[in-house]
Amino acid sequence: DVKVTQSSRYLVKRTGEKVFLECVQDMDHENMFWYRQDPGLGLRLIYFSYDVKMKEKGDIPEGYSVSREKKERFSLILESASTNQTSMYLCASSTPGGNTGELFFGEGSRLTVL
């Protein structure tokens, strides 16, 4: 089975702290994604990557950056956390293909910024 593992299920951080969210997948997928999920807004794409060292902005990249140094690992970085970044963060991976619809998600990281 495909496994996408997010390093932390629950985090509590203070405003202004730097936050790292790590994601690792074990299926050699080229594509990796970071979404945030908020009530009433659904899943919104923050960043994605279709290859090592490649990244593209999603719909809401402001306040975030990402790193993809190895194929299996995709990190989301909040340089200076703010309270409006309190959310559920979901990492996903998929195989290439313009109409590929199957994303494999991690269990999510619930971040609270105080």
Partner 1 sequence: RKEVEQDPGPFNVPEGATVAFNCTYSNSASQSFFWYRQDCRKEPKLLMSVYSSGNEDGRFTAQLNRASQYISLLIRDSKLSDSATYLCVVPNAGGTSYGKLTFGQGTILTVHP
And the tokens for 58? 């999603």
- Based on CB atoms, which residue is closest to partner 1, 17 or 86? 86
24 sits near partner 1 (criterion: CB under 8 A): no
Residue 85's SS3 state is: helix
For the CB of residue 30, give the shortest distance to partner 1 in the complex, in Å.
8
Question: Is residue 31 part of the contact set for partner 1 (CB under 8 A)?
Answer: yes
Minimum distance of partner 1 from residue 46's CB (angstroms)? 12
Number of Cβ atoms within 10 Å of the Cβ of 42:
9
96 forms part of the interface with partner 1 (CB under 8 A):
yes
Q: Is 26 in the site for partner 1 (CB under 8 A)?
A: no
Task: Kindly state the smallest distance separating residue 68's Cβ from partner 1, in Å.
Answer: 14
Strand intervals (E) in 40-86: 42-49, 56-57, 65-70, 73-78
CA distances, 86 to each of 15, 36, 48, 57, 82 (Å): 10, 9, 20, 20, 8
Provide the binding-site residues for partner 1, judged by CB under 8 A: 31, 33, 35, 40-45, 48, 50, 56, 58-59, 90, 94, 96-103, 105-108
